[in-house]
Amino acid sequence: GALLIHSELKNNQVVHHRLRKGDTVKGFAQAEVILEREYTTQFVEHSYIEPEVVVAVPYEHNSLVTIYGSVQNPFSCRNAVASVLKVALNQVRIIQNHMGGSFGGKDEVISSMAARAAVLALKTGRPVKMVNTRAESILESYKRHPYQMKYKVGATKEGKLIAMEIKAIADSGAYACQTPFVTWRSVVQATGPYEITNVKTDTYGYYTNNVYTGAMRGYGSPQIIFAQESLIDELAEELKMSPLELRLKNIYHNNSITASGQKLDNHQVSLEEVISKAMGVSNYKEKYAEYNRSQLGDKKRGIGMAISFRGCSLGAETTDAAGAIVAIQHDGSILISCGLAENGAGLKTVLTQIAAEELGVEIKRINYMEIDTSVSPESGPTVASRSTLLGGNAVKNAAHQLKETLAEIIAAEFKIRANNLVFKKENISDKNKDQKIISFDQAVDLAHKQGIFLSAYGWYKAPDISWDEVTGQGRPYFTYVYGCQVAEVEVDLGTGQIEVIKITAAHDVGRAINPACLRGQIYGGVMMGLGYGIMEELETEKGYIKNTNFDEYLIPTIKDMPEITPIMVENPDPYGPYGAKSIGEPTLELGAAAIANAVAQATRRRIRDLPLNLERVLLGYSLSKGVIKSDSL
């Protein structure tokens, strides 16, 4: 048997999640076509351009220690440092600085660095700065989990999916870290956005002597989407059916029942819409038919698609809430503080816009305060594409309270009904008379003269959800997002080189609060998906990392960037601020699958292991060892 990584444990298993729906034995007995396939994915480095950095200052601002740094989750960092120092939380202050990327990576590793810096600062009585080199960053930080996945699917000859069995194993490395939660998302989404009566899914995490794995953009979904969407294309080929036709026969619609037994009846299930728009813009049908015909020369083209549904925010794995403070100064300027961190996605801009919209003022009035754990409201981690959804609602709630306060003051002053007042374009008007009553500045001045302090705390808790760990049934997420990406590639069969020519990305965002920021998220996510699909791979040997710099660990550059066409589909969500939902991670999780399907069409050969690098395309296999290189598996 495998050597125990932790001698106090009975085995190397970190976690096992189960999902059971219907009866797969009966389902496969009814199936006319059965397909079984295995897929693997690799270790992936976060590759943020700015490495980890913190500065610890002792005895500053009445705190035992103040830490400045590139911190993704300041409150988690505070909790960790206080635990190490064995002091109360209010003795540790974390101030987030501008970040040069994170993608889930600057959490536990930054907390460890901050704790070390804090100990040194208190021992020396001097400020301490710690900065990782690139090699130190790659060696110390956790990675995206590599997965081994076995899929079995049964269908009718007409293409109706009847049964699916899935077994997925994640390499947790030496520590558990986020493995229980990453594999939980995988078990929820492993069947993809397809309505299947009979499902049996098991996801596992195992300790190994490899580098440990944790949170990375996508969080357990890119791996299973690569497998499940490759499987759907392979089944379509077996049925002599187009991949598009097979998907349309089985996708979720309004009131569909998911693998976990959740009825999708509280939001618009827009899979058909995102698929339709992606197909139209990419010209998928025509190009798929064209590339299926014989192509001359070594360079062959292919086009592939992939679709997904993704649960928004943290899900049933933990409490899900956020807080915000909005304060109007006596000169009419506004301060905002929220406990969710700006990690480069434009959160400060979006939350500022939400406050401005609710109060009917221009955004230039508003100053968004950097996170400071001594004054900002704790709001949970900045992960799971939850910041606009949760933080936006918290800011909106706080701003709405202030609007109600001002409305009551104005109503009393002018003898009108408060609920008739409209806040818009820097003025407050009577909606029945379409007549300006008072300017925003005058309203604030009126409140100030009456001794009323205009500050409000907004809190938003996500709707209640549920999960049965034994059966894998329940309501794991309160709402979902849907996406479709189409990749067009050209493969040189003589060299194995893949050129991604174009990617069309259609995503239902609920409502686009800031279209420019949203497009930026799509561009960035698509490029990360491209890197995951065709080039990125952290190589290990007996637990040691071999490629510790960007000269050996390859990431996409501007030269690799294809033509990217973002398509924003808007179906306002009842739970989101002004209908907005999530976008940060959905844009990343589809790329590798769509590219793999396109490469399969171009080469007429299916590659079931990521990345689709030169040797796999040219030789059909990797010269190195398998994906999980641990001695203990």
Residues acting as catalytic residues: 585
CA 100 to centroid of chain Cα atoms? 18
Report the alpha-carbon angle 370-373-375, nearest 5: 80
Contact (Cβ atoms closer than 8 angstroms) between residue 581 and residue 298:
no
Contact (Cβ atoms closer than 8 angstroms) between residue 588 and residue 532:
yes
* Cα distance between residue 499 and residue 605, in whole Å: 17
What is the β-pairing status of strands 498-508 and 480-492? antiparallel
* Cα distance between residue 183 and residue 170, in whole Å: 7
Buried b (16+ CB within 10 A) or exposed e, 476-485: bbbbbbbbbb
Tally of CB atoms within 10 A around 11: 12
62: DSSP letter: T
Kindly list the distances between the CA atom of residue 48 and the CA atoms of 77, 458, 565, in Å, as whole numbers in the listed order.
19, 32, 24
- 377 contacts: CB under 8 Å, gap ≥ 6: 322, 323, 324, 325, 337, 338, 339, 394, 457, 459
Backbone angles phi, psi at 473, to 5 degrees: -110, 150
338: DSSP letter: E
Residues pairing with 567 in the sheet: 506
Residue among 384, 392, 307 at smallest CA distance from 350: 392
3-state secondary structure 226-293: HHHHHHHHHHHHHCCCCHHHHHHHHECCCCCECCCCCECCCCCCCHHHHHHHHHHHHCHHHHHHHHHC
Residue among 76, 52, 44 at smallest CA distance from 627: 44
Specify the residue for token string 């076995």: 150
Contact (Cβ atoms closer than 8 angstroms) between residue 437 and residue 413:
no
Tally of CB atoms within 10 A around 447: 20
Helices 284-292, 271-282: axis angle to 10 degrees equals: 60
The residue count of the chain comes to 633
Whether the upstream peptide bond of residue 572 has omega within 30° of 0, thus cis, is: no
Residue 587, amino acid: T
Contact (Cβ atoms closer than 8 angstroms) between residue 200 and residue 24:
yes
- Distance from the first to the final alpha carbon of the chain: 9
Helices (H), 168-213: 179-189
11: DSSP letter: S
Backbone angles phi, psi at 628, to 5 degrees: -90, 105
* Cα distance between residue 199 and residue 202, in whole Å: 10
Specify the residue for token string 């700065």: 129
Q: Report the SS3 class of residue 119.
A: helix
Which run of H or of E encompasses 530?
A: helix 515-534
